[in-house]
Amino acid sequence: MRKLAAGNWKMNGLKADLDQITALATDHPAPTVDILLCLPATLLTSAHAVAGQIALGGQDCHPADSGAHTGDISAGMLAETGASAVIVGHSERRADHAETDATVAAKAKAVWAAGLTAIICVGETEAQRDAGQTLDVIAKQLSGSVPEGATGANTVIAYEPVWAIGTGRTATLDQIAEVHDFIRTKVQTRFSAAVGGGIRLLYGGSVKPLNAGDIFGVSNVDGALVGGASLKAVDFGKIIEALSSQQHH
Phi, psi of 175 (to 5 degrees): -65, -40
Query: Does the annotation count 126 as an active-site position?
Result: no
From 28, 90, 124, 180, active-site residue: 90
Count Cβ atoms below 10 Å from residue 201 Cβ, excluding itself. 20
Rounded-to-integer distance, Cα 110 and Cα 65, Å: 7
Phi, psi of 2 (to 5 degrees): -75, 135
Rounded-to-integer distance, Cα 119 and Cα 34, Å: 14
Residue 66: which residues within 8 A CB-CB, separation 6 or more? 74, 76
From 92, 124, 160, 180, active-site residue: 160
Query: Does the annotation count 97 as an active-site position?
Result: no
Rounded-to-integer distance, Cα 8 and Cα 40, Å: 9
| C-alpha separations of 126 from 137, 155, 169, 184, 210 in Å | 12, 26, 11, 22, 23
Rounded-to-integer distance, Cα 106 and Cα 93, Å: 14
Active centre residues (catalytic): 90, 160
